[in-house]
Amino acid sequence: MSVDEIVRNNERNGVNRKLEQSSGNVLGYEVRGKLTEEELGSILTDMEEAVDRFGKVNLLIYFPEIPRPDLGAVREDLEFARKHTKDIGRYAVLGGSALLDWVARLEGPLVNIEIKHFEPDRLEEAWLWLRGREAG
């Protein structure tokens, strides 16, 4: 499924949601607009359930625009990262912003998670990378 198809599907089904390609310990989410504390809490609960079931998870977050989380969401995100750093194997960040690339390069070594930035047209490559299969 292309990014355009995902966007059209998400416009019908909600703003911030789990992507259909998620399976097993590989979870993907699209985050559009302002991410509320409630929405982040839902994502984090889903991730915690996967961690409990599989031990480690690999994540894909698609940002069609730079997210604007509220302060409660930021606090909850930092708490989750502190608590679950060892539970996340690979983290793919999908979006066209150079800022996302910069953050992925800087944050990965700081939190000891393998983080990689992908441009939106490389969605399938990102899923393959998360599943441990390189594209090509």
**Domain locations in the chain?**
3-130
SS3 60: strand
State the CB neighbour count (10 A cutoff) for residue 130. Answer: 24
- pTM recorded for the entire structure: 0.74
- 90 in Cβ contact with 58 (< 8 Å): yes
Q: Backbone phi, then psi, for 60, in 5-degree steps? A: -125, 125
The tens place of each residue's pLDDT in the chain, 136 residues long, gives 555 554 445 444 445 788 999 999 999 998 877 777 787 778 888 888 999 999 999 999 888 876 555 555 555 555 666 676 788 899 898 888 777 777 777 776 667 788 888 999 999 999 999 999 755 4
Q: What is the CA radius of gyration of the chain?
A: 14
- 57, with CB counted inside 10 A (0-12, 13-18, 19+), is buried
Per CATH, the homologous superfamily of domain 3-130 is: STAS domain (3.30.750.24)
